[in-house]
Amino acid sequence: MSYQAKHVLQESEVVVGYTTYIELIQDIIAPHQTVIRSHMKKEVERALEALEEAKAGKVVSVISSGDAGIYGMAGLILELLYKNNLEEYIEVEIVPGISAVQAAAARLGAPLMHDFACISLSDLLTPWQTIVKRIHHAAQGDFVIVLYNPKSKKRIEQIQEAVDILLQYKKTDTPVGIVKSAYREGEEVHISSLESLLEHEIDMFTTIIIGNQSTFMNKTHMITPRGYNIHE
């Protein structure tokens, strides 16, 4: 957590968030602050509740895990503000945080030293064909590829199809990092290869990073060279 995030939270009169994330910041919340908890997949309701509080003149924090600006709550808040013509009445500040990809990368070593593409495999809000197209282009462009939301209890085929597509362009032994719950309880970090990726346990708390042509593994880390000449 950043100093800015903690400061903003402490200055808020109302804190709105998904139950699990509220629990993670329980220690920071003071008794005089109003806490509004809501369930998963209730993002729109949660954002609307936050706007109602803000319309009533309250200083409101909306909690997003990782970075609110990367697949987070920032967009929904701004969209609803726009739709309801509230842009000029309610001031919004986006506070950046550590996204899942950065936490995963830090645990794996240095996989993101070169150009990378982030793709969410969740087709709840995006047509699967759009996602497929992006996987093809990210692989053809030799990007390091980060997969968010690779799998859930109900969504199990997307990661299999993604690996099939990636294997059309990338070598079977391309290094792959698999990180579950980075920096949180139950953290698991595995370095594997593209052909063995599916042998690992993958769930909705897992972030997957697939190397580019230059990515390599040493004994303990996954590294994508930046290109410095260190061999002179």
Is-contact 29 14, C-beta < 8 A? no
Q: Which stretch binds its own copies (CB under 8 A): 54-62, 103-111, 158-166, 171-179?
A: 103-111
x/- track of binding to its own copies for residues 61-90 (CB under 8 A): ------x-xxxx-xxxxxxxxxx---xx--
177 strand-pairing partners:
191, 209
Q: Does the footprint of its own copies cover residue 185 (CB under 8 A)?
A: no
Closest contact distance (angstroms) between CB of 199 and its own copies is 25
Question: Which lies closer to its own copies via its Cβ, residue 186 or residue 227?
Answer: 227
Q: Does the footprint of its own copies cover residue 109 (CB under 8 A)?
A: yes
Sheet with 222-223, side-by-side order of all strands: 109-110, 222-223, 216-217
Residue in 22, 35, 98, 204 binding its own copies, rule: CB under 8 A:
98
x/- track of binding to its own copies for residues 116-155 (CB under 8 A): xxxxx----xx---xx-xx-xxx-xxxx------------
Q: Does the footprint of its own copies cover residue 94 (CB under 8 A)?
A: yes
Q: Does the footprint of its own copies cover residue 225 (CB under 8 A)?
A: yes
Q: Of 17-36, which residues contact its own copies (CB under 8 A)?
A: none
Q: Does the footprint of its own copies cover residue 175 (CB under 8 A)?
A: no
Q: Does the footprint of its own copies cover residue 51 (CB under 8 A)?
A: no
Q: Does the footprint of its own copies cover residue 37 (CB under 8 A)?
A: no
DSSP string, 166-182: HTTTS-TT-EEEEEEST
Question: Which lies closer to its own copies via its Cβ, residue 16 or residue 112?
Answer: 112
DSSP-derived secondary structure letter, 107 = H
One-letter amino acid for residue 104 of the chain: A
Question: Which lies closer to its own copies via its Cβ, residue 2 or residue 160?
Answer: 2
Q: What's the token pair of residue 9?
A: 């939270």
- Tell me whether residue 125 is exposed, middle or buried, using C-beta atoms within 10 angstroms of its C-beta: 0 to 12, 13 to 18, 19 or more: exposed
207 strand-pairing partners:
179
3-class secondary structure per residue, 19-34: HHHHHHCHHHCCCCCE
Report the length, in residues, of the chain.
232
Question: Which lies closer to its own copies via its Cβ, residue 27 or residue 32?
Answer: 27
Q: Does the footprint of its own copies cover residue 221 (CB under 8 A)?
A: yes
What is the rounded distance in angstroms from the CA atom of residue 199 to the CA atom of residue 192?
A: 9
# residues contacting its own copies (CB under 8 A): 73
